[in-house]
């Protein structure tokens, strides 16, 4: 029996790759670095694609007349024109759930790193600057027994709230489209309107998906509402924040600092003013980047692909 042909544009380990090849005829490529024209040329006979952030728009779909499945190895799917795919009968999937705890770990790492000046003081020690007389010059700010505000209380947000409330004795406020009764009961989380959350929180974590409603939702006004001692953490998407307004807030002392895993432009330009600021911790979009989690994401994406090609049913359709 002829196997369906699929384009694999995301990294797979040997075990997962062998499993995929047991039911698919695979063509591998680095989809995010392949010239667009060459990538489109490889789609004409493909029934499925396995991707990690590759742009899937009308041009992409036009080049793949036999396509049945677009499987993202990511919880986000703003790289895909979902409505256009749906109109063509193409199923789009993502990988929710399997990365929640790993991303939550990273968010706590950013909170600790920026507030306790971990990166800054590591560089200070390495440069030979540490002196016995430093004293208060090395002080940071506490995380424990402070107030955390979470914007976007999905699964990752709840995982962050659990760590904060139970591990660091933080008071947790949240803003979300829907109330979270379980988090309110078990973690003492308090629902707040956005303005109140911004005004009261010592740490503000942004975890909303990127939509037309959330694009640029944190801008100059929102930063002006935050405490001058507040730390802003973004591990959602760079475009949810007005980056110029954030840079201004960091430069002017409107907020104390920021921990960022995402940016408006990725990779970050060498000319980006963020690179020159000492009150910011910058990471290269590594929220889910551990071996185990990325392998779990890839396996879920492969299972989605298998389900669509064999029965038309996906485990986690968008």
So what CATH class is 100-282? alpha beta
291 token code pair: 């071996």
109 token code pair: 């790492």
For 89-93, 197-201, 212-216, 256-260, which range has the lowest pLDDT when averaged over its residues? 212-216
5-96+291-311 and 100-282 have identical folds: yes
- 76, pLDDT greater than 90: no
> What is the reported pLDDT for 301?
97
Q: Residues 42, 147, 163, 237: which is the catalytic one?
A: 237
> What is the reported pLDDT for 1?
75
Distance CA 73, CA 127 (A): 40
CATH superfamily, domain at 5-96+291-311: NAD(P)-binding Rossmann-like Domain (3.40.50.720)
Q: Which residues pair with 70 in a beta bridge?
A: 49, 92
pLDDT band (50, 70, 90) for residue 29: very high
- 20, pLDDT greater than 80: yes
Q: What mean pLDDT do residues 281-287 have?
A: 97
Q: Residues 59, 195, 266, 310: which is the catalytic one?
A: 266
Q: What is the DSSP letter of 274?
A: G
Residue 164 CB neighbours (<10 A) = 27
Q: What is the mean pLDDT of the chain?
A: 96
Known catalytic residue: 271?
Answer: no
> What is the reported pLDDT for 311?
95
Residue 180 CB neighbours (<10 A) = 19
Closest-CA residue to 207 (of 294, 106, 317, 82):
106
Chain centre distance of CA 44:
31
- To the nearest whole percent, how much of the chain has pLDDT over 90? 95
Tens-place pLDDT, residues 100-154? 999 999 999 999 999 999 999 999 999 999 999 998 999 999 999 999 999 999 9
Known catalytic residue: 141?
Answer: no
Asked whether the beta carbons of 259 and 236 are under 8 A apart, the reply is: no
Domain ranges of the chain: 5-96+291-311, 100-282
Known catalytic residue: 266?
Answer: yes
- To the nearest whole percent, how much of the chain has pLDDT over 70? 100
Closest-CA residue to 208 (of 233, 183, 181):
233
């Amino acid at each position: 029996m002829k196997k369906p042909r699929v384009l694999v544009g995301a990294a797979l380990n040997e075990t997962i790759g062998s499993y995929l090849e047991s039911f698919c005829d695979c063509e591998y490529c680095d989809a995010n670095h392949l010239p667009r024209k060459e990538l489109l040329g490889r789609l004409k006979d493909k029934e499925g694609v396995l991707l990690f952030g590759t742009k899937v728009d009308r041009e992409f779909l036009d080049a793949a007349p036999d396509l049945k499945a677009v499987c993202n190895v990511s919880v986000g799917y703003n790289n895909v024109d979902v409505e256009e795919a749906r109109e063509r009968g193409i199923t789009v999937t993502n990988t929710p759930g399997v990365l929640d705890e790993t991303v939550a770990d990273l968010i706590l790492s950013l909170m600790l790193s920026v507030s306790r000046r971990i990166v800054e003081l590591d560089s200070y020690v390495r440069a030979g600057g540490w002196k016995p007389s430093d004293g208060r010059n090395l002080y940071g700010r506490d995380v424990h027994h402070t107030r955390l505000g979470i914007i976007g209380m999905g699964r990752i947000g709840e995982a962050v709230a659990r760590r904060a409330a139970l591990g660091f004795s933080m008071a947790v406020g949240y803003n979300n489209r829907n109330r979270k009764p379980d988090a309110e009961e078990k973690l003492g989380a308090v629902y707040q309107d956005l303005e109140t959350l911004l005004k009261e929180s010592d740490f503000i974590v942004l975890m909303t998906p990127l939509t037309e409603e959330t694009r640029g939702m944190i801008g100059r006004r929102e930063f002006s509402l935050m405490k001058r001692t507040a730390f802003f953490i973004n591990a959602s998407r760079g475009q949810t924040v007005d980056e110029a307004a954030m840079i201004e807030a960091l430069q002017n002392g409107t907020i104390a600092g920021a921990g960022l895993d995402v940016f408006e432009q990725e990779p970050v330009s060498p000319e980006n003013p963020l690179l020159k600021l000492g009150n910011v911790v910058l990471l290269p979009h590594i929220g889910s980047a551990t071996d185990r989690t990325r392998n779990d994401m890839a396996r879920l994406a492969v299972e989605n692909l298998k389900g669509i090609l064999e029965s038309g049913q996906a485990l986690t359709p968008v």
